[in-house]
Amino acid sequence: MNPQGAAVFLIDFAFSVYIFIVLTRFVLQVARADFYNPISQFVLRATNPLLAPLRRIIPGYRGLDIASLVLVVVLIVVKALMLTTLQRGGIPDGIGPVLLVYTLQELATLLLNYIFWAVLIRVILSWVAPDPSNPIVRVVIQITEPIMAPCRRLLPDMGGLDLSPLIVLLGVQFLKILFQLH
């Protein structure tokens, strides 16, 4: 791998991981997850350096942490600009509209993929019956329950078989196809 390819990989990886952590903070607040959980504490400590100053400018709205969502958008834009600069040797003219569409698509894709993988992880965890007091298990349940509970109420009683994950996973895939997201 050439040095430019290695730099692109490292920047893409670092930004992707941090975007995931900031998005997790947003999702934890939306799901009203336990913030005393060790996983939640890690997310709080990892995101506070950038979010604390941003929160002074951007307040929350109806229990939503708008600052963390704005930070995700800013990180997506910065990542795209850095990768474009490295790969093309500069930022092309007229990138604004393209960057806006890319950012919105990337945000929608991230949210849908986040939901998909969280539900899939919960399904797999239900097969292995882990300790319910495990911090990771508790966070996954707290994140997925607000999405799965409404589906569970819509479905008829299946004799102990929970098909709500299937409905959520199909819904996520339907939305990705509908909006032509990757």
3: three-class secondary structure by DSSP: helix
pLDDT tens string 4-44 = 778 889 999 999 999 999 999 999 999 988 889 999 999 99
Q: Is the pLDDT of residue 107 over 70?
A: yes
Q: Which residue, 56, 73, 68, is CA-closest to 24?
A: 68
Domain that holds residue 146: 3-178
Q: Is the pLDDT of residue 1 over 70?
A: no
- For the chain, what is the radius of gyration of the CA atoms? 19
pLDDT tens string 123-143 = 999 888 778 788 889 999 999
How many structural domains compose the chain?
Answer: 1
- How does residue 120 score in pLDDT terms, banded at 50, 70 and 90? very high
